[in-house]
Amino acid sequence: MKAKGNPGPDYSCVCIRNEDGDLVYAAAKTLIDGSNIVAEAEAIRMGLMYCVDKQLFPFIIETDSMTMKMIINAEWKIPWSISMLVDDIKRLMEDQRVIVMHIHREGNGLVDFLTNFVFYFARTVQFHNFQELPSQAKKILNLEKIGIPNLRVRTIQDKAPD
């Protein structure tokens, strides 16, 4: 998930991988308006819908949103803005073996890249295998598969003293 301007247009992305880390499916789309929590919930719902349709159970949901993990695990109250999405998520998870885990944003590099891809180049994308991915996405996936983290580096600009 990625939000560009909160609130405002948001972009939701899901990447589904098998136990070896190989890409099974990835999709990203532009949402009309919302917030980062709406985009996070929509990404989880998109992934669950795909997994239910393809009967890919049991599985682990990895999200970089601690808020969504706590909401899905019924540790926090559901905000009204995503109550219908969370109802869908819980319905899709019924009678399935699903674990929801929090991961750091740096562990979600492919999702971050694909949401930026949608933001800059397309309104929606789908990839059904590794070969369909843009070359930079292939590099990110390969690095993640061998355990090399995607590091975010920010530079601090020196400011003149006031």
Q: CB atoms < 10 A from the CB of 101, how many?
A: 10
More confident residue, 89 or 106: 89
**Domains of the chain (ranges, CATH numbers):** 2-145 (3.30.420.10)
Asked if the bond preceding 9 is cis, omega within 30° of 0, the reply is: no
Give residues with Cβ within 8 angstroms of 36, minimum separation 6. 1, 3, 6, 10, 65
**Token pair for residue 102?**
């929090």
List pLDDT tens digits, range 54-69: 999 899 999 999 999 9
3-state SS class at 14:
strand
pLDDT of residue 104: 84
Task: Please state the pTM of the whole predicted model.
Answer: 0.84
